[in-house]
Each structure stands twice: as structure tokens, then as C-alpha cells.
């Protein structure tokens, strides 16, 4: 099910029965929306059921994504087993991008995936590193490095407060790094 009934969402658009299917020469009511591309998920056409089905058959959702990540994604979708991430982080990044894009496709305009609350065990570490959830390995490293630069005891002449902050930052970094694979 990769299409949605018009009435299920998009309250900013009046569910007028008079909207025609945008497929050329079609006179059926356009009740389903179809994104124009996966890079433009908020930009869509209204189609009738028959044409939205045709659209979905032709829509190569995975085009442009990392092949190994697609493999993992499909295996996960079919078996429910999360990949073990023995592969490089590039694959993991791509996998998460697929998840995001697919979620956006199925729930147009929704930020629910991104706005999912962080697990309680990560909240303190996220606050310490001034980060949002979910995060990527790159974001984690960037925040960690920036804070280390600022609070490293060496640059603060052995200041005790800096030393405490530095320790907290490092602990938080390890916690977040460890859980990078769990979402």
C-alpha cells in the first residue's frame, strides 16, 4: 500500500470530488496522491486508483540508493531482522535514508519518524552532547569534537570544572556511539 486516500490526510487541500485524475485523458476523480519523485515527496499529482497503481508499479523507489543498503532494507522488511551492520557505515546511512524516504512517502508531510522521542537511556547523553535524536555517526563525531575542543583540560589549564565536563562528554559520546546501531 503505497498510495493514500485523499481524505486521510492533507487537510490543507479540500477533498473536492471535482478534482480530476491528472493522468492524461483520464476523467476519473483524482482521489490518490502520487509524489513526483522521491526527492520531491511533497510535490505530487492527484490520480485515480487505476493510475496511482500504475504510478506505483513504475516508481523505482530504490533508485539511487546504495545497493547493499537496499538489500539490508528488503531483508529487514521481509524477515523483520535488523541488519547486523557488519558493513561500513555508508551502508547504514543509506539504509536509514531509505527508511526516512519511505516513511515520508507513506505519511506525506509527517515528521513523526524524525520527531520520535529518544529512548530514556539516551536522553542525558543527548543533552550533554547537545544533540537531537535520531542522530548519525557523523553528527555524533562532529558534536563530540566541538565540545572536546572547548572543554579539554589541556586548553583550560587543568581547570577542575573543565575536567569534569570533559569526562561527561566522553561518557556521553561512548553511550551514543554504542547505541548508534539500535535504531
Residues that bind Zn ion (CB under 5 A): 21, 23, 26, 28, 48, 51
Phi, psi of 81 (to 5 degrees): -95, 120
Nearest to 95 by CA among 136, 55, 56, 129: 136
Q: Which is nearer to Zn ion, 26 or 68 (CB)?
A: 26
How far CA 161 is from CA of 44, 148, 164, 169, 174, in Å, comes to 54, 13, 5, 12, 20
Contact 92, 68 (CB under 8 A): no
In the complex, least distance from residue 110 CB atom to Zn ion, rounded to whole angstroms = 26
In the complex, least distance from residue 31 CB atom to Zn ion, rounded to whole angstroms = 10
24 grid coordinates: 492524461
Q: Which is nearer to Zn ion, 50 or 130 (CB)?
A: 50
Percentage helix, strand, coil, to 5, in the chain? 50, 10, 40
In the complex, least distance from residue 30 CB atom to Zn ion, rounded to whole angstroms = 7
Q: Which is nearer to Zn ion, 21 or 125 (CB)?
A: 21
Q: Which is nearer to Zn ion, 56 or 170 (CB)?
A: 56
Q: Is the peptide bond preceding residue 101 cis, with omega within 30 degrees of 0?
A: no
In the complex, least distance from residue 47 CB atom to Zn ion, rounded to whole angstroms = 6
Helix 120-128 / helix 160-178 crossing angle, nearest 10 deg: 140
In the complex, least distance from residue 27 CB atom to Zn ion, rounded to whole angstroms = 8
Q: Which is nearer to Zn ion, 55 or 143 (CB)?
A: 55
Tell me how far apart the alpha carbons of residues 2 and 33 are, in angstroms, rounded to a whole number.
10
Amino acid at each position: 500500500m503505497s498510495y493514500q486516500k485523499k481524505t486521510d490526510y492533507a487537510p490543507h487541500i479540500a477533498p473536492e470530488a471535482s478534482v480530476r485524475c491528472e493522468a492524461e485523458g483520464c476523467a476519473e476523480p483524482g482521489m490518490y496522491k502520487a509524489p513526483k519523485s522521491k526527492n520531491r515527496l511533497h510535490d505530487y499529482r492527484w490520480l485515480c486508483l487505476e493510475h496511482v497503481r500504475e504510478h506505483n508499479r513504475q516508481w523505482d523507489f530504490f533508485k539511487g540508493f546504495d545497493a547493499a543498503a537496499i538489500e539490508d532494507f528488503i531483508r529487514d522488511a521481509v524477515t523483520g531482522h535488523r541488519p547486523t551492520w557488519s558493513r561500513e557505515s555508508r551502508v547504514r546511512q543509506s539504509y536509514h535514508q531509505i527508511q526516512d524516504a519511505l516513511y515520508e512517502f507513506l505519511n506525506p508531510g509527517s515528521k513523526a519518524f524524525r520527531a520520535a522521542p529518544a529512548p530514556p537511556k539516551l536522553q542525558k547523553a543527548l543533552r550533554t552532547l547537545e544533540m537531537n535524536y535520531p542522530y548519525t555517526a557523523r553528527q555524533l563525531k562532529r558534536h563530540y569534537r566541538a565540545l572536546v575542543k572547548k572543554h579539554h583540560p589541556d586548553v583550560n589549564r587543568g581547570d577542575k570544572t573543565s575536567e569534569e565536563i570533559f569526562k561527561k562528554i566522553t561518557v556521553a559520546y561512548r553511550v551514543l556511539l554504542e547505541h548508534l546501531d539500535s535504531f
